[in-house]
Amino acid sequence: MTIFSKIVSGEIPCNKVLENEEFLAFHDINPKAPIHILIIPKKEYKNFQEVDPKVMVGLTKFTHQVAKLLGLDVSGYRLITNNGSDGGQEVMHLHFHLLGGAKLTWSHLSDSDSHKFL
Ligand code: 5GP
């Protein structure tokens, strides 16, 4: 069972933002922006590569609701999913990071020289 499944079951507490039968949104414990929400399907999928694409329809609608609830639909936001080892994924339960509340920068994605990959 993943740590996020323990949050879904209530075994581990979270600061909840929105919930329905299939999805849960809660504040990240270690925020990287003024607003940093994690959005997950309650059912465990390892990551984006493994998710049933049909789930993404509901997850997209749910994410729109979360953004609206927090006013981010107007001010803007960034949506990220880390996939696997090189993607920097730490929790093996599909989740999207919804980041906002400030003008976000776009830098230092890798310790390697990015020009080598362009
Ligand atoms: P990843 O690196 O897998 O994309 O992101 C995992 C995220 O989960 C991290 O941003 C981390 O701060 C967050 N996280 C890990 N454990 C917990 C927890 O117990 N509660 C909450 N709210 N967030 C967690």
pLDDT in tens, 70-112: 999 999 999 999 999 999 999 999 999 999 999 999 887 777 7
User: pTM of the full predicted structure?
Assistant: 0.95
Q: What range does the domain containing 58 cover? A: 3-117
99 CB within 6 A, ligand 1: no
φ/ψ of 36, rounded to 5, equals -140, 105
* Cα 91 to ligand 1 centre (Å): 7
Please indicate whether residue 88, judged by its CB atom, sits closer than 6 Å to ligand 1.
yes
Distance 31 CA to ligand 1 centre (A): 9
CATH code where residue 21 lies: 3.30.428.10
| pLDDT single digits (tens) 26-48 | 999 999 999 999 999 999 999 99
Q: Is the CB of 62 under 6 A from ligand 1?
A: no
Q: Give the ligand 1 atom nearest the CA of 88.
A: 2
Mean of the per-residue pLDDT values for the chain? 95
Number of domains in the chain: 1
Q: For residue 109, which phi and psi values (nearest 5 degrees)?
A: -85, -20
Other Cβ atoms closer than 10 A to 107: 6
With a 6 Å cutoff on the Cβ, whether 26 touches ligand 1 is yes
